[in-house]
C-alpha cells in the first residue's frame, strides 16, 4: 500500500445492497479531507479468494460482513488480539512489508458493540443472553465480558456450531451455557444481544418476562424492525437497533484505514463521528437508536 495512491475501499458481503457502511465511511473521509472511494461489493461465500487475488495497488482496505468474517482468516498475514480471540475479522488493511503485499486483520465489532451499548445507557451486566451462534456471536460474547458479565446464555439451533463459544468463554473467564431456542422456558438476563439476521424467524417467542425486563440490543438494522425486535416491542421492552454498532465499529475502521492503528484517535475525531452520525440520521430518520 502506497499511502499516497491507495485510496480505494469497500465493504464486502452477501447480501450487501442494504449496507449503510458506504454512507458513514464516505462522510468520514469527506470530513477528513480525503479523496477516497468506498463502495459496497457483492461477494458470496466461496468467492472471496478470487476477489482478493484481483486486488490492485490502489486498494487500501476492506470491511467485511456476513458470510466473510471467518472465510477471510486463511488469507490474513497478521491479526489484532480481538480478531485472534474471536476468530472473526471484519476489517482488512492492505499494506506492503519488505516489498510484499500483506493483509492485516482487525475486529472492530467488539469495540463498536461496547460503545453502542454505553451510548444506550448499558455499561455493565452480570448475565447476558446471546441469540445465535454465527460469526458475530463471538464478538458479542467478548463485548459481554467487557461489560463484566459472569454468565452468558447462548440460544441457538446447533450446539456443535456453538461449541467454540464455550471455549472462548473459558478464555475470557465467562461461564457459557448453550440452550436450544425451542427448549427455553426461563432466562434471567440483564441484556440480550441478538446476532441474528434481520429476517430471522424464531421457532417460538422468548419468555415474556425476559422481553419485558431485559434490554434487547439487535445488531440488525435492515429490514427493520426485525422479528425479534417486534416481539420485544409487543411486550413493552426496550430495543436498541444495530445502527449504533454500525456507526461506532465504522469509526474504529476509519482509524485503521487512516492511521493503521485502531487505538489511534483521528484528527478532530468528535467532528468525524458527528459527520458520520449525521449522514446515518439523514438516511434512516433514526435520531435515537433506542426504542421503547
- For 185, other C-beta atoms within 10 Å of its C-beta total 6
Burial of 191 (0-12, 13-18, 19+ CB in 10 A): buried
Please report where in the chains the cell 441484556 appears, as a residue. 191
Rg of the chain over all Cα atoms, to the nearest angstrom: 19
* Neighbouring residues of 208: CB distance < 8 A, sequence distance ≥ 6: 235
Choosing from 17, 44, 54, 69, the catalytic residue is 69
Nearest CA-CA partner of 250 in 283, 221, 278, 277? 277
- Secondary structure (DSSP) of 247-284: HHHHHHHHHHHHHS-TTSPPTTHHHHHHHHHHHHHHHH
Among candidates 258, 259, 254, 260, which has minimal Cα distance to 275?
254
Listed residue (133, 35, 55, 129) closest to 95, CA to CA: 55
Q: In angstroms, rounded to a whole number, what is the distance separating the alpha carbons of residues 275 and 161?
A: 39
Distances (CA, A) of 273 to 20, 51, 69, 197: 15, 30, 24, 26
Other CB atoms within a 10 A radius of the CB of residue 224 amount to: 18
Q: Which helix (H) or strand (E) holds 92?
A: strand 91-97
Decide if 54 is catalytic.
no
Q: Grid coordinates in use for 254? A: 476509519
62 sits in the region (left: phi over 0; alpha: psi -120 to 50; else beta) called: beta
User: Looking at the annotation, which residues are catalytic?
Assistant: 69
Amino acid at each position: 500500500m502506497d499511502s499516497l495512491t491507495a485510496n480505494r475501499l469497500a465493504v464486502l458481503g452477501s447480501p450487501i445492497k442494504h449496507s449503510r457502511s458506504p454512507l458513514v465511511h464516505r462522510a468520514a473521509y469527506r470530513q477528513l479531507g480525503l479523496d477516497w472511494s468506498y463502495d459496497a461489493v457483492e461477494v458470496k461465500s466461496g468467492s472471496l479468494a478470487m476477489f482478493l487475488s484481483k486486488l490492485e495497488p490502489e486498494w487500501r482496505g476492506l470491511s467485511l460482513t456476513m458470510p466473510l468474517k471467518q472465510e477471510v482468516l486463511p488469507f490474513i498475514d497478521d491479526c489484532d488480539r480481538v480478531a485472534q480471540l474471536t476468530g472473526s475479522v471484519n476489517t482488512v488493511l492492505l499494506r506492503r512489508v519488505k516489498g510484499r503485499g500483506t493483509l492485516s486483520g482487525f475486529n472492530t465489532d467488539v469495540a463498536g458493540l461496547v460503545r453502542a451499548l454505553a451510548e444506550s445507557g448499558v455499561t455493565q451486566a452480570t448475565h447476558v443472553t446471546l441469540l445465535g451462534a454465527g460469526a458475530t456471536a463471538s464478538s458479542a460474547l467478548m463485548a459481554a465480558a467487557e461489560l463484566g458479565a459472569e454468565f452468558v446464555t447462548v440460544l441457538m439451533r446447533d450446539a456443535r456450531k456453538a461449541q467454540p463459544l464455550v471455549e472462548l468463554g473459558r478464555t475470557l473467564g465467562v461461564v457459557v451455557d448453550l440452550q436450544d431456542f425451542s427448549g427455553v422456558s426461563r432466562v434471567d438476563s440483564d441484556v440480550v444481544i441478538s446476532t441474528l439476521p434481520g429476517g430471522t424467524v424464531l421457532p417460538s417467542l422468548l419468555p415474556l418476562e425476559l422481553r419485558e425486563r431485559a434490554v434487547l440490543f439487535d445488531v440488525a438494522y435492515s429490514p427493520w424492525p426485525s422479528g425479534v425486535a417486534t416481539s420485544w416491542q409487543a411486550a413493552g421492552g426496550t430495543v436498541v437497533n444495530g445502527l449504533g454498532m454500525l456507526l461506532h465499529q465504522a469509526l474504529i475502521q476509519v482509524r485503521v484505514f487512516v492511521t493503521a492503528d485502531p487505538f489511534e484517535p483521528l484528527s478532530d475525531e468528535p467532528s468525524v463521528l458527528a459527520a458520520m452520525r449525521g449522514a446515518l440520521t439523514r438516511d434512516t430518520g433514526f435520531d435515537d437508536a433506542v426504542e421503547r
